[in-house]
Structure 1
Amino acid sequence: MAEMKNQNFDVIRFASYRTACKLRFIQKRCQLHLVDLWNLIEAFRENALNAMDAQAPLGITRVRALLNSLYYQLNKRLPPSQQLDLPHCVSLLLNWLLASYDPEQQGCLRVLSLKVALAILCAGKLLDKLRYLFSLLADSSGRLPVSRFGQLLEDALVLPASVLESPSFHYSESLPTSIFHQSRITLNEFLSVLTSDGGPECLIWMPLLHRMANVENVLHPVQCDGCNRDSFLGFRYKCQRCYNYQLCQDCFWRGRTSGSHTNQHEMKEYAVYKSASKQLGHSLRKSFRCVPERPSRQLPHFPEEEHTLDLAHIVPPSPAASHNGLPSLVGPSMDSGQDEEHRLIARYAARLAQRPTSSTDTARQRELLAQLEAKNREMMGQIVRLRQQQEREESMRAGSPALVGELQALRQRKAHLEAHLAQLQDSRRDLMLQLEALMKMLKNHQRSPRSTPGSSPRSTASPPERPPIVAAHLQTPDSLVGLGADVQMAFGRTPEGRQLRDHLLVAADSVTHAMSSLVRELHSGVGSEDEASQPGPDGDGSQHNGCPDVSPQELSPSCLQPGTTDDDSYVRTEDEEE
């Protein structure tokens, strides 16, 4: 109400225009101008209000459910950029309905009051709305008793009272009989009285509300003499006394004038704009009477005796979308062919409504409904299971590249260790052959220290030749030629040679021990991929008890770390030799 007061509607001089402007504001504020009559009837049918008595009370919960379904269906027809805020619209309209039709705050609305209010404020043609309102209270013979018309009139006049216009449009007990003198009203009489120019003054705001909605976007490219605007929208008013004096609807409603024009001058209302050429043609036709005028459109004539027109059971096919994305309103045509079609539809609907439903069919339908619900639950459970299985498979796929990469890395590590083991075994074999040859030479040298150099056996596998280091007092035997200066020194009779020989034997023992440890570690790590993936201290996963990988050609005193002292010399026995 505060927003409506800010629009300054109370300064409008005419009560009918003032009431229509206020109701139009509420209609647009609640977005009811986007809901047509046929969608409203469909919402009533979906919420089972078509089968309820007109005077039955309706709780707030059911009213809220009705409004939710109404706005939800409206959002489905609107483009995505024009979607409505459903909770806000429902709350706004519900509060306004309760404030208007439940002043005692009982928490309920009558079905008839709700239908009348929504039918008047929704979008649609006035003739369609009047026919629907007539069908709400008409009896089985298709006539409306005056007493029921009084109920309809009382609910309709609540709308002006809700916008503080009850002094101008109020209800009285004698008002229905002053409009219709007969006790029972036919549809033709009802439409003729309510749509005529001299209709009842208490309802004059209703046709004005529809006219205002139709012309609010009509542009008049003329200057308003009251506010001097070059063009304006809505109604246009032309003075019948002042020459070419025209006012916009805001100036006329609020009484703004200029020049010699006064508010007492007779004004004519225009809802459309005609160009100068059309006005000239109209003047010539009126002057010469050479062109017959168009026949005036008359209201359709309905048969006197017909069944109740129950539009609640009639849901027309979805009409074609209009230019603004909303479905166009489908109303009854004026020609006789479509009138006959409407009568047939009404008769078929009445027959279907009167057809009894057998208990067998009802039980069968309930059984079928239970089966469908069970199948639905089963399908929903299967969908949930499939969705969970799909999520598990996706999670496994997401983690599989890491597992494959780790497996490949472990396989490469295993191949590298196997190649390294083969290399170490070859090196060990060569070292053992060299040691065998050296031990034989040492044994022969100990048995015959003064033997000739030619009696010493030559090593079959000797390292690459190095420049011999010959002492001044030492002569190298011919049998040690090609073994290297260090090896020759080891078999010499000097203390340095004895020490070097001990170091060489200790190194050979260390290499053998390291090879045994590596083989045990490799065999113990083949079954456990995690242990094989951890690098060793030297970076390649192999351990040699502190000794680096050496080949038979790279043995030197600098890389040998003895495991015994100088006093403990290693002597190979005959059992070991054999």
Structure 2
Amino acid sequence: MGLDHQAQTTCWDHPKMTELYQALADLNNIKFSAYRTAMKLRHVQKALRLDLLKLSSVVDVFREQELQHAEHVMDVVEVIHALTSLYEKLEEERSILINIPLCVDMCLNWLLNVYDSGRNGKMRVLSFKTGLVILCNADIQEKYKYLFRQVCGPGGLTDQKHLSLLLHEAIQIPRQLGEVAAFGGSNVEPSVRSCFRMAPGKSAIEVSHFLEWMSLEPQSVVWLPVLHRVTVAETAKHQARCYICKQCPIKGFRYRSLKQFNVDICQTCFLTGRTTKGKKLHYPIMEYYTPTTSGEKMRDFAKTLKNKFRSKQYFSKHPQRGYLPVQSVLEVESSETPCSSPRLPHADTHSRIEHFASRVLQGEYRRLKWKHEEAAASPQLLESGPGSPAGQQDEELLAEARVLRQHKTRLETRMQILEDHNKQLESQLHRLRELLLQVRYSLKHIKN
């Protein structure tokens, strides 16, 4: 802790942490909220050396420090002991020299900023575990499974209350980065309800439901799978030239137009919205975070050829991109949001799913239903046994219809989830507009 003599305020951050926050501010030109958040977290992850830390090592330290009870409250001394063990294990396993005191100070600083901004010197075990597991080096599915287990009962199930606790801990991370408004704010209840729609009528869910829900990349935690893609993309090199800045080869993410032939964009140009003079990138876009195979190239060529004959009106009615550039709704300064102003995303996934479900699945379902009814009305089919060709055909039709019903149910569930997210965003926008009016009113009175 120190005193900022110029501002006459107490500064809780380590000097190196202050430098890190200043570096994160340089990423505010990224126009996609999930990518902006993920890029910032990647910087934090590297600065804390957590990108080198395996999940198994983290779990071992949790066990050694007897951090089994999620509701247990740790004091700063306990946190320091656990972090020291963590970095000592990292140094030993990686056979590298690490400035352990600095890493412990930085990681402690970050965790306190996220989970103890009031500096009470306390944090829950669940907070400590969530903060470290999200930023360690591990397969994303393994992270999901481990975090889910932290809020499970003896039967491997969790209820809405405990899932709320987990999502509340997770959402504190983008909140500290000043990005929480883009992910539905601190209210996680709509996300919890959407997750429980994966298991209709049940008061508790198992890990398979949670993993299926996370695979939909729900709004409150969409930044987490994007962090995974950012990490993988860092080492990717694509044998292509950027249409905008001419970088070759393209490193990191590569974005290919499926409307124009041989138009590739590097991640810097795409994420910051840079274009060439008088030329704009045509959508739809395909994102790659690993080098492409020959099969993927042929698939993209076929899609581009098909899209060449489609009008602008078609793409306006059938948007293809999930993350769109967003505009700042309200510029405010806050001690809890050091890196950027709140932003609201624009999502188009709902319309894509709705269109797909209505045009394909429902039509196919009706076709199968009609075929099944026609077959059932046939005397030959009614007289057929289960082993006869007609009986087998009937069983196949029933099986296919069941699969389509399951797909339809999943799509309807996802549409409901997205509708809830849209309502939540509208509520956020309404509150931000009210705040803007209050600020303008206050400024008017100050001037008078």
Indicate whether the TM-score tops 0.5: yes
Aligned residue number for residue 61 of structure 1: 77
Structure 1 letter corresponding to 2:240: V
Amino-acid identity (%): 31
Equivalent-residue separation in structure 2 for 1:59 and 1:247 (angstroms):
48
Q: Spell out, residue by residue over 1:161-190, the C-alpha distance to the aligned partner (whole angstroms, 9 max, x if none).
A: 111112212221532223323421111101
Counterpart Cα distance in 2 of 1:166 and 1:62: 29
Report the alpha carbon displacement of residue 4 of structure 1 after superposing the two structures with TM: 3.8
Offset, 1:191? 0.6
Mapped to 2, the partners of 1:283 and 1:257 lie a distance apart of 23
Q: Who is 1:28 aligned against?
A: 46
Q: CA deviation at 1:261?
A: 4.0
User: Residue 142 of structure 1 aligns with which residue?
Assistant: 156
Among 184, 187, 192, which residue is 1:172 paired with? 187
1:95 paired to 2:109: yes
- Match runs of 1:278-293 below 5 Å: 279-280=297-298
Which residue pairs with 1:3 in the alignment? 20
Note closer, same or farther for the CA distance 1:203–1:263 as it changes in structure 2 (3 Å cut): farther
Q: Hey, what does 1:223 align to over in structure 2?
A: 241
The structural deviation recorded for 1:110 is 0.5
- Aligned partners of 1:218 and 1:12: how far apart in 2? 20
> Letter of the aligned partner of 1:19 in structure 2?
T
Corresponding residue number in structure 2 for 1:184? 204
1:39 counterpart (39, 51, 57): 57
Contact 2:232 2:290 in 1 (8 A): no
CA deviation map 1:230-270 (0-9, x unaligned): 21321100112222111110110000112664256321101
AA aligned to 1:144 is T
What is the TM-score with the length of structure 2 in the denominator?
0.59
Question: One-letter code of the match for 1:24?
Answer: R
Match of 1:542 in 2: none
Q: Deviations over 1:543-572 (max 9, x none)?
A: xxxxxxxxxxxxxxxxxxxxxxxxxxxxxx
Q: 3-state SS of the aligned residue for 1:16?
A: helix
Secondary structure, in 3 states, of the residue corresponding to 2:123? strand
| Equivalent in 136, 139, 142 of residue 125 of structure 1 | 139
Residues 276, 195 of structure 1: alpha-carbon distance in 2 compared, 3 angstrom cutoff:
closer
8 Å CA contact 1:242–1:261 kept in 2: the answer is no
SS across alignment from 2:60: helix
- The equivalent of 2:173 in structure 1 is 159
Q: Give, as a single letter, the amino acid of the residue that structure 2 aligns with 1:125.
A: D
1:11 deviates by: 0.5
- Asked whether the equivalents of residues 171 and 186 of structure 2 are also in contact (C-alpha less than 8 Å), the reply is yes
Which residue identity is paired with 2:91? Answer: N
The alpha carbon displacement at 1:277 in A equals 8.5
**Aligned ranges for residues 438-517 of structure 1 at < 5 Å?**
none
**Contact kept in structure 2, 1:218 and 1:234, CA below 8 Å:** yes
Contact 2:257–2:282 (CA<8 Å) still a contact in 1? Answer: no
| Contact kept? 1:126, 1:207, Cα under 8 Å | yes
Two-structure CA RMSD over aligned residues (Å):
2.2
Distance in 1 (alpha carbons) for counterparts of 2:257 and 2:43: 28
Q: 2:89 aligns with which of 65, 69, 73?
A: 73
Give the superposition deviation at 1:3. Answer: 2.9
- Structure number with higher relative contact order (C-alpha < 8 Å, ≥ 6 residues apart): 2
How far the C-alpha of 1:221 sits from its partner, in A, is: 2.1
Q: Which structure 2 residues correspond to residues 171-570 of structure 1 after superposition, within 5 A? A: 171-172=186-187, 174-175=189-190, 176-181=192-197, 182-196=202-216, 199-258=217-276, 261-262=279-280, 265-274=283-292, 279-280=297-298
Q: What SS does the corresponding residue of 2:179 show, helix, strand or coil?
A: coil
- Following the alignment from structure 2 to structure 1, what is the Cα–Cα distance between the partners of residues 300 and 214? 30
Distance in 2, matches of 1:261 and 1:78, equals 48
Change (3 A) 1:276 1:120: closer
Structure 1 residues 21, 67: closer, same or farther in 2, change over 3 A? same
3-state SS, counterpart of residue 160 of structure 1? helix
Residue 181 of structure 2 aligns to a residue in which SS?
A: coil
The runs of 5 or more residues in structure 1 that have no matched partner are 288-578
Give the deviation of 1:160 after TM superposition.
0.4
Is 2:195–2:210's contact at 8 Å kept on the other side of the alignment?
no
Q: Which residue of 2 aligns with 1:104?
A: 118
Q: Deviations over 1:89-146 (max 9, x none)?
A: 0000001111110122111110111011111111101111111111111111211101
Aligned residues: 279
TM-score, length of structure 1 as denominator length: 0.46
Separation of aligned partners in 2, 1:231 and 1:283: 20
**1:272 Cα deviation after fit:** 2.3
1:24, 1:282 → 2: CA distance? 30
Pick the aligned partner of 1:85 from 74, 87, 99.
Answer: 99
Query: Structure 2: which amino acid aligns with 1:94?
Result: L
Decide whether aligned partners of structure 1 residues 273 and 253 sit closer, same or farther in structure 2, where only a CA change above 3 A counts: same
Could you tell me whether the CA contact under 8 Å between 1:4 and 1:22 is conserved in 2? no
Summarize the Cα distance change of 1:213–1:131 in structure 2 as closer, same or farther, 3 Å threshold: same
Larger radius of gyration: 1
**Partner SS state of residue 167, structure 1:** helix
Alpha-carbon distance in structure 2 between the residues aligned to 1:159 and 1:211: 18
Whole-angstrom CA distance in 2 between matches of 1:248 and 1:137? 40
